Protein backbone atom coordinates (compact mmCIF):
# COMPACT_ATOMS: atom_id res chain seq x y z
CA UNK A 1 0.00 0.00 0.00
CA UNK A 2 1.30 3.42 -0.88
CA UNK A 3 1.25 6.09 1.79
CA UNK A 4 -1.27 8.86 1.18
CA UNK A 5 0.12 12.32 0.68
CA UNK A 6 -1.04 15.56 -0.82
CA UNK A 7 1.99 16.23 -2.95
CA UNK A 8 5.19 14.47 -3.84
CA UNK A 9 8.35 15.64 -5.51
CA UNK A 10 6.90 15.15 -8.98
CA UNK A 11 3.77 17.16 -8.14
CA UNK A 12 5.88 20.04 -6.93
CA UNK A 13 8.16 19.99 -9.99
CA UNK A 14 5.14 19.68 -12.27
CA UNK A 15 3.46 22.66 -10.62
CA UNK A 16 6.68 24.63 -10.87
CA UNK A 17 7.02 23.94 -14.60
CA UNK A 18 3.37 24.67 -15.32
CA UNK A 19 3.54 28.05 -13.59
CA UNK A 20 7.05 28.83 -14.79
CA UNK A 21 9.90 30.51 -13.00
CA UNK A 22 11.51 33.78 -14.05
CA UNK A 23 14.83 34.93 -12.74
CA UNK A 24 15.99 38.49 -13.36
CA UNK A 25 19.23 39.68 -11.87
CA UNK A 26 21.39 42.72 -12.54
CA UNK A 27 24.76 43.10 -10.94
CA UNK A 28 27.51 45.67 -11.25
CA UNK A 29 30.91 45.36 -9.68
CA UNK A 30 32.28 48.73 -8.79
CA UNK A 31 35.72 49.75 -7.65
CA UNK A 32 36.22 53.20 -6.15
CA UNK A 33 32.89 54.38 -7.50
CA UNK A 34 33.71 53.22 -11.05
CA UNK A 35 31.56 50.36 -12.40
CA UNK A 36 33.90 47.77 -13.99
CA UNK A 37 32.01 44.56 -14.59
CA UNK A 38 28.36 44.18 -15.44
CA UNK A 39 26.15 41.11 -15.24
CA UNK A 40 22.62 41.00 -16.55
CA UNK A 41 20.94 37.63 -16.04
CA UNK A 42 17.57 36.73 -17.47
CA UNK A 43 16.45 33.16 -17.09
CA UNK A 44 13.10 31.43 -17.54
CA UNK A 45 12.25 27.84 -16.70
CA UNK A 46 8.85 26.48 -17.64
CA UNK A 47 7.14 23.75 -19.60
CA UNK A 48 7.01 24.47 -23.31
CA UNK A 49 3.24 24.71 -23.16
CA UNK A 50 3.55 27.55 -20.63
CA UNK A 51 6.32 29.19 -22.67
CA UNK A 52 4.08 29.13 -25.74
CA UNK A 53 1.19 30.60 -23.77
CA UNK A 54 3.43 33.56 -23.00
CA UNK A 55 4.68 33.78 -26.57
CA UNK A 56 8.19 32.52 -25.83
CA UNK A 57 10.22 30.01 -27.90
CA UNK A 58 7.42 29.78 -30.47
CA UNK A 59 9.70 29.79 -33.49
CA UNK A 60 12.03 27.23 -31.98
CA UNK A 61 9.19 24.88 -31.12
CA UNK A 62 7.83 25.12 -34.66
CA UNK A 63 11.22 24.66 -36.31
CA UNK A 64 12.13 21.65 -34.17
CA UNK A 65 8.91 19.88 -35.00
CA UNK A 66 9.11 20.71 -38.69
CA UNK A 67 12.70 19.59 -38.92
CA UNK A 68 11.87 16.23 -37.37
CA UNK A 69 8.85 15.85 -39.61
CA UNK A 70 10.97 16.47 -42.71
CA UNK A 71 13.50 13.94 -41.50
CA UNK A 72 10.77 11.33 -41.21
CA UNK A 73 9.39 12.13 -44.64
CA UNK A 74 12.71 11.69 -46.37
CA UNK A 75 13.35 8.19 -45.09
CA UNK A 76 11.70 5.28 -46.79
CA UNK A 77 12.67 1.63 -46.92
CA UNK A 78 14.36 0.62 -50.16
CA UNK A 79 12.17 -1.50 -52.39
CA UNK A 80 12.83 -3.40 -55.58
CA UNK A 81 11.43 -1.90 -58.78
CA UNK A 82 8.24 -3.91 -59.06
CA UNK A 83 7.83 -4.43 -55.34
CA UNK A 84 4.51 -3.34 -53.84
CA UNK A 85 3.78 -2.78 -50.15
CA UNK A 86 0.77 -4.85 -49.10
CA UNK A 87 0.78 -4.25 -45.34
CA UNK A 88 2.63 -2.05 -42.90
CA UNK A 89 2.58 -1.97 -39.11
CA UNK A 90 4.71 -0.91 -36.18
CA UNK A 91 6.20 -3.88 -34.33
CA UNK A 92 9.12 -5.75 -32.90
CA UNK A 93 11.38 -8.71 -33.47
CA UNK A 94 13.07 -10.76 -30.77
CA UNK A 95 16.82 -10.36 -31.11
CA UNK A 96 19.05 -12.79 -29.27
CA UNK A 97 22.72 -12.85 -30.07
CA UNK A 98 25.64 -13.05 -27.69
CA UNK A 99 24.95 -10.94 -24.63
CA UNK A 100 22.15 -8.95 -26.20
CA UNK A 101 18.58 -10.17 -26.05
CA UNK A 102 15.79 -7.69 -26.56
CA UNK A 103 12.78 -6.74 -28.64
CA UNK A 104 13.95 -4.50 -31.44
CA UNK A 105 11.35 -2.05 -32.73
CA UNK A 106 10.70 -0.94 -36.28
CA UNK A 107 8.14 -0.98 -39.08
CA UNK A 108 7.05 -4.31 -40.48
CA UNK A 109 6.40 -4.38 -44.20
CA UNK A 110 4.74 -7.16 -46.15
CA UNK A 111 5.32 -6.76 -49.87
CA UNK A 112 4.60 -9.02 -52.81
CA UNK A 113 8.19 -10.31 -52.53
CA UNK A 114 9.42 -9.98 -48.98
CA UNK A 115 8.64 -9.50 -45.31
CA UNK A 116 11.00 -7.16 -43.56
CA UNK A 117 11.40 -5.08 -40.44
CA UNK A 118 12.73 -1.63 -41.19
CA UNK A 119 14.16 0.74 -38.64
CA UNK A 120 14.03 4.41 -39.48
CA UNK A 121 16.84 5.72 -37.30
CA UNK A 122 19.50 4.61 -38.12
CA UNK A 123 18.23 3.31 -41.45
CA UNK A 124 18.55 -0.47 -41.43
CA UNK A 125 16.63 -3.66 -42.21
CA UNK A 126 16.61 -5.59 -38.95
CA UNK A 127 15.06 -8.66 -40.49
CA UNK A 128 14.34 -9.70 -44.01
CA UNK A 129 13.04 -12.79 -45.74
CA UNK A 130 11.66 -13.62 -49.15
CA UNK A 131 8.18 -15.07 -49.15
CA UNK A 132 9.23 -18.35 -50.79
CA UNK A 133 11.54 -19.15 -47.87
CA UNK A 134 8.80 -19.06 -45.24
CA UNK A 135 8.02 -22.58 -44.06
CA UNK A 136 5.20 -21.76 -41.65
CA UNK A 137 3.29 -18.92 -39.97
CA UNK A 138 1.85 -19.36 -36.49
CA UNK A 139 0.48 -17.20 -33.69
CA UNK A 140 1.21 -17.94 -30.05
CA UNK A 141 0.93 -16.30 -26.67
CA UNK A 142 3.67 -15.45 -24.26
CA UNK A 143 3.11 -14.27 -20.69
CA UNK A 144 4.88 -11.03 -19.91
CA UNK A 145 4.35 -8.78 -16.88
CA UNK A 146 1.43 -11.02 -15.92
CA UNK A 147 -0.36 -10.33 -19.19
CA UNK A 148 -0.80 -12.53 -22.23
CA UNK A 149 0.92 -11.09 -25.27
CA UNK A 150 0.22 -12.38 -28.72
CA UNK A 151 3.13 -13.02 -30.95
CA UNK A 152 3.71 -14.27 -34.45
CA UNK A 153 6.18 -17.05 -35.19
CA UNK A 154 7.64 -17.21 -38.65
CA UNK A 155 9.64 -20.26 -39.60
CA UNK A 156 12.39 -19.37 -42.05
CA UNK A 157 15.27 -21.70 -43.00
CA UNK A 158 14.73 -23.85 -39.91
CA UNK A 159 14.78 -20.83 -37.62
CA UNK A 160 11.84 -19.24 -35.80
CA UNK A 161 11.49 -15.46 -35.93
CA UNK A 162 9.47 -14.10 -32.99
CA UNK A 163 7.40 -11.10 -34.03
CA UNK A 164 5.16 -8.68 -32.18
CA UNK A 165 2.85 -5.98 -33.42
CA UNK A 166 -0.27 -4.21 -32.21
CA UNK A 167 -2.55 -6.47 -34.27
CA UNK A 168 -0.91 -9.86 -34.70
CA UNK A 169 -3.93 -11.45 -36.37
CA UNK A 170 -4.14 -8.78 -39.06
CA UNK A 171 -0.41 -9.21 -39.64
CA UNK A 172 -0.78 -12.96 -40.00
CA UNK A 173 -3.66 -12.46 -42.39
CA UNK A 174 -1.57 -10.10 -44.51
CA UNK A 175 1.28 -12.63 -44.70
CA UNK A 176 -1.08 -15.43 -45.72
CA UNK A 177 -2.57 -13.26 -48.44
CA UNK A 178 0.90 -12.39 -49.71
CA UNK A 179 1.87 -16.07 -49.72
CA UNK A 180 -1.07 -16.82 -51.99
CA UNK A 181 0.38 -14.48 -54.55
CA UNK A 182 0.50 -16.64 -57.72
CA UNK A 183 4.05 -15.49 -58.32
CA UNK A 184 5.30 -17.80 -55.58
CA UNK A 185 3.07 -20.78 -56.11
CA UNK A 186 5.18 -23.54 -57.46
CA UNK A 187 4.17 -24.81 -60.88
CA UNK A 188 2.66 -28.28 -60.67
CA UNK A 189 5.04 -30.76 -62.20
CA UNK A 190 3.66 -32.51 -65.24
CA UNK B 1 16.41 13.21 6.05
CA UNK B 2 18.89 10.87 4.34
CA UNK B 3 18.52 8.57 1.37
CA UNK B 4 19.59 5.14 2.43
CA UNK B 5 21.39 2.86 0.03
CA UNK B 6 21.51 -0.68 1.37
CA UNK B 7 25.19 -1.49 1.79
CA UNK B 8 24.61 -5.24 1.72
CA UNK B 9 23.23 -5.03 -1.72
CA UNK B 10 25.04 -2.14 -3.29
CA UNK B 11 24.20 -2.98 -6.88
CA UNK B 12 20.48 -3.19 -6.22
CA UNK B 13 20.53 -0.10 -4.05
CA UNK B 14 22.45 2.03 -6.50
CA UNK B 15 20.51 0.82 -9.51
CA UNK B 16 17.31 1.43 -7.57
CA UNK B 17 18.37 5.00 -6.88
CA UNK B 18 19.13 5.61 -10.55
CA UNK B 19 15.91 3.99 -11.73
CA UNK B 20 13.95 6.02 -9.17
CA UNK B 21 15.41 9.26 -10.55
CA UNK B 22 14.68 8.12 -14.09
CA UNK B 23 11.14 7.29 -13.05
CA UNK B 24 10.63 10.75 -11.56
CA UNK B 25 11.82 12.35 -14.79
CA UNK B 26 9.61 9.98 -16.78
CA UNK B 27 6.63 10.93 -14.63
CA UNK B 28 7.34 14.61 -15.18
CA UNK B 29 7.80 14.18 -18.92
CA UNK B 30 4.56 12.20 -19.17
CA UNK B 31 2.59 14.95 -17.44
CA UNK B 32 4.08 17.57 -19.71
CA UNK B 33 3.29 15.37 -22.72
CA UNK B 34 -0.35 15.27 -21.64
CA UNK B 35 -0.33 19.05 -21.31
CA UNK B 36 1.12 19.42 -24.81
CA UNK B 37 -1.42 17.03 -26.28
CA UNK B 38 -4.27 18.85 -24.54
CA UNK B 39 -2.77 22.18 -25.64
CA UNK B 40 -3.90 21.38 -29.18
CA UNK B 41 -0.80 22.56 -31.02
CA UNK B 42 0.41 19.07 -32.00
CA UNK B 43 -0.91 17.21 -35.03
CA UNK B 44 -2.14 13.62 -34.87
CA UNK B 45 1.09 12.12 -36.13
CA UNK B 46 3.10 13.89 -33.45
CA UNK B 47 0.69 12.79 -30.72
CA UNK B 48 0.91 9.19 -31.88
CA UNK B 49 4.70 9.28 -32.03
CA UNK B 50 4.92 10.86 -28.60
CA UNK B 51 2.55 8.29 -27.13
CA UNK B 52 4.44 5.38 -28.62
CA UNK B 53 7.79 6.70 -27.43
CA UNK B 54 6.47 7.10 -23.89
CA UNK B 55 4.95 3.62 -23.90
CA UNK B 56 8.28 2.16 -25.07
CA UNK B 57 10.08 4.03 -22.31
CA UNK B 58 7.60 2.79 -19.74
CA UNK B 59 7.98 -0.81 -20.87
CA UNK B 60 11.76 -0.54 -20.83
CA UNK B 61 11.83 0.81 -17.28
CA UNK B 62 9.34 -1.80 -16.08
CA UNK B 63 11.51 -4.49 -17.61
CA UNK B 64 14.65 -3.21 -15.91
CA UNK B 65 12.80 -3.11 -12.62
CA UNK B 66 11.47 -6.64 -13.04
CA UNK B 67 14.77 -8.11 -14.19
CA UNK B 68 16.63 -6.70 -11.20
CA UNK B 69 13.87 -7.04 -8.62
CA UNK B 70 13.92 -3.31 -7.94
CA UNK B 71 10.27 -2.45 -7.17
CA UNK B 72 10.71 -2.16 -3.41
CA UNK B 73 13.97 -0.22 -3.59
CA UNK B 74 12.59 2.20 -6.17
CA UNK B 75 9.40 2.73 -4.19
CA UNK B 76 11.27 3.43 -0.99
CA UNK B 77 13.60 5.92 -2.73
CA UNK B 78 10.62 7.72 -4.27
CA UNK B 79 8.82 7.82 -0.92
CA UNK B 80 11.86 9.29 0.82
CA UNK B 81 12.36 11.87 -1.95
CA UNK B 82 8.70 12.80 -1.62
CA UNK B 83 9.25 13.16 2.12
CA UNK B 84 12.14 15.53 1.50
CA UNK B 85 10.08 17.57 -0.94
CA UNK B 86 7.06 17.69 1.38
CA UNK B 87 9.28 18.71 4.26
CA UNK B 88 10.90 21.51 2.30
CA UNK B 89 7.58 22.79 1.02
CA UNK B 90 6.14 22.77 4.52
CA UNK B 91 9.01 24.85 5.78
CA UNK B 92 8.47 27.42 3.04
CA UNK B 93 4.72 27.53 3.50
CA UNK B 94 4.86 27.88 7.22
CA UNK B 95 8.22 29.11 8.49
CA UNK B 96 7.11 28.84 12.15
CA UNK B 97 7.64 25.07 12.07
CA UNK B 98 11.18 25.76 11.00
CA UNK B 99 11.72 27.98 14.02
CA UNK B 100 10.28 25.29 16.29
CA UNK B 101 12.69 22.76 14.87
CA UNK B 102 15.60 25.08 15.53
CA UNK B 103 14.40 25.63 19.10
CA UNK B 104 14.27 21.91 19.71
CA UNK B 105 17.88 21.30 18.77
Rounded percentage of chain B residues whose pLDDT exceeds 70 = 91
| Alpha carbon distance B61, B67 (integer Å) | 10
How would you label A7-23 residue by residue, b for 16+ Cβ within 10 Å and e otherwise? ebbbbebbeebeebeee
ipTM, 2 decimals?
A: 0.77
pLDDT at A189: 47
Beta carbons of A151 and A138 less than 8 angstroms apart: no
Q: CB atoms < 10 A from the CB of B36, how many? A: 19
**Cβ separation of B27 and A10 shorter than 8 Å?**
yes
**pLDDT tens per residue, range A10-27:** 888 898 899 999 999 999
pLDDT surpassing 80 at residue A75: no
Mean pLDDT of A107-118: 89
Q: CB atoms < 10 A from the CB of A5, how many? A: 12
| Alpha carbon distance B38, B33 (integer Å) | 9
**Cβ separation of B82 and A90 shorter than 8 Å?**
no
pLDDT surpassing 50 at residue A97: yes
pLDDT at B4: 66
Rounded percentage of chain B residues whose pLDDT exceeds 90 = 34
pLDDT surpassing 70 at residue A1: no
Q: How many CA atoms lie within 13 A of A47 on its CB side?
A: 21
Decide which of B101 and A108 is more confident.
A108
pLDDT at A40: 94
- Which B residues in the span 24-63 are in contact with A, Cβ-Cβ below 8 Å? 24, 27-28, 31-32, 35-36, 39, 41-42, 45-46, 52, 56, 62
pLDDT surpassing 80 at residue A154: yes
- Which of B56, B62, B89 minimises the CB distance to A12? B89
Beta carbons of A168 and A151 less than 8 angstroms apart: yes
Query: Taking CB atoms and an 8 Å cutoff, what residues of chain A touch B79?
Result: 2-3
Low-confidence ranges of chain B (pLDDT < 70): 1-8
Average pLDDT of the residues of chain A: 83
Q: How far is B5 from chain A (nearest CA, A)?
A: 19
| Alpha carbon distance B38, B49 (integer Å) | 15
**Cβ separation of B31 and A10 shorter than 8 Å?**
yes
- Which of B39, B75, B81 minimises the CB distance to A9? B81
Average pLDDT of the residues of chain B: 86
Beta carbons of B86 and A8 less than 8 angstroms apart: yes
A37 touches chain B (CB under 8 A): no
Query: Taking CB atoms and an 8 Å cutoff, what residues of chain B touch A104?
Result: none
For residue A44, list its beta bridge partners: A22
Report phi then psi at B91, rounded to 5.
-65, -35
Domains annotated on chain A, with CATH = 9-72 (no CATH), 85-184 (2.30.29.30)
Rounded percentage of chain A residues whose pLDDT exceeds 90 = 22
Ranges assigned E (strand) in chain A:
21-31, 34-45, 85-97, 100-111, 114-119, 124-130, 134-144, 147-156, 159-165
Instruction: Say whether B17 sits in a helix, a strand or coil.
Output: helix
Beta carbons of B59 and A102 less than 8 angstroms apart: no
Nearest CA in chain B to A1: B75
Which of A22, A61, A16 is closest to B28 using CA atoms?
Answer: A16
Amino acid sequence: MKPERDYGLVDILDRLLNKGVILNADLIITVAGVPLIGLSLKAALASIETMLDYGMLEAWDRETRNWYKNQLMERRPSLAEDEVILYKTFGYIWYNEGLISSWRPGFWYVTNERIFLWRREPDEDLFETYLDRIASVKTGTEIEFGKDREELNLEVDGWIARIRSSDVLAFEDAIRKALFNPRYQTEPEL
Amino acid sequence: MALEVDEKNLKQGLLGLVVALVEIIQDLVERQAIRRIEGGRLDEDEIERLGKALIDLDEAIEKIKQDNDLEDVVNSVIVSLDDVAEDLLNKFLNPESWAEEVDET
